[in-house]
Structure 1
């Protein structure tokens, strides 16, 4: 379940309320500082009940949409801009099946299109969380029009339009309002600063400086967040690269185990003779400064009398034991990679690094 970020709340009283009033015991609270705590839950029901309680008590908190409720959102192209959204939704519903259910269609609008009062031939289509993205993209025509689908381009960093903080959106925010222009606690559209006023009246609640709004991309706080995001992405790539290197230590492309155990191009017969005699290669190589081929031949001739007494099963058992150890190490690595991949995906999703599904 996604975390619940809570501000300016008595954590001790909160825990008692969750346990006594909601009868929830399976949750955790992490206090980041005196004013900021994070609640972690195990089930969707507990998550919703705690959020409802915080909303009723008018607590300052923000969270994220659970994966089970996250709607699939795509851009529809190829439909005339004069179409009614309800008509498009009606056409889409005729194509629904068990793995596909459409919920909402809205026409895409940008700041420029709103200012110029023009309509764009693009539509935002939302489907149920259980719908198949591939099934949606397989729809090639709507009302006899050839259409295409595209994923929504996410902003580099999510910024809430309600409280102006980063890493979440206004749809999951219950923090106090902070105006993007003046920083005061009033709702959107109630600010007294107009476009005719100078930039000196603008105030950023993030860097605490005058001269720009809180949504300014050259704000020092925004740049700092972008740097943190890049460092996080690089750290994740580095961890994945290290795990791939660890994997390559166990498995090398094009090299079999039998070839790997050969040292310095010694063939199998000579290699077994060289190992089973108990003579190390380094000690033998020092003798009279002979090359490898002479050493192998000499070692073979000198130990001919002992060959019949050597138990070949020992070498086979050693190889089998090495193979078993390699398999165990690979299984451990595969398990760790799977666990860390899930954790990495959750962190990137919560902080807006990956697109929402």
Structure 2
């Protein structure tokens, strides 16, 4: 599914022409089929309503199309909501492994177990393009080239590629391969009324969660950049780092006031990475506090620092805890969210609470 100028213009052209269905014009559908770490089918429905709701049959479902929802990251310009959701969603068929991607030094090794059209990867903070076509049975060493989300993947428009990339990024290190159309286990669903040729592009994506370091067999991981280092109101603390692949299997808090305890905290945070970042410097009168939520069954979980205050010798940390919502795109690999915060002042104990609910985490 090489992206061509004609393919990239399909949806745009569809919006300029009419559809014979009463109550809706300019109808076109674009499917994204996920395999591997995900078995999910998403479809954007593009069109105009002509001032009223309309129905269209997608697969075996008669769906109701309405104006697009506001505030949903998958609700793209020109699309309609489907049964009250930003996209049509369903499941795909199981498929065997299509690739093994591992870190080798500063590059990536791609072992193709089936034909691949292109391979992309994220370290949880940025996206990279690793390769173009790789034939089944080949193993290639690739250099990561910075890429905007999943742009250039199959027939995805830039807006679709950005939305899917944002959904997957932050779920730890993972790789995404574009699969050739003839190798997809699922056919495009039927649309009634039938769409004209070119109005129903399909992009198949194979997701490999948990990219491993070839030398250690442990998950590759990267520290979050300085986006989380801004001081909190009151100046009590600031988030230093965080991620989704700590070595902690259960909830724990580590308080580090010296180099030895800080090394323990850092090893817990980055114990699954062969080249962890250097220890941060300890400031006199400050401590580094690590909070580890423990293992989660999929990607899509996260944690960040909302507030920190010391009252009566007790440090109270309130955290923004996130979990994947219904229909979210998540990798099917174990993750372990964590954060590390720099705290100024003295305290004898720590209480950790969910900022949204006030519930104590333990």
TM-score bracket, normalised by the shorter chain, equals under 0.3
Q: Given the two structures, how large is their TM-score scaled by the length of structure 2? A: 0.22
Larger RCO (CA within 8 A; separation ≥ 6): 2
Q: Given the two structures, how large is their TM-score scaled by the length of structure 1? A: 0.22
Whose strand proportion is higher, 1 or 2? Answer: 2
- Structure number with bigger Rg: 1
Whose helix proportion is higher, 1 or 2? Answer: 1
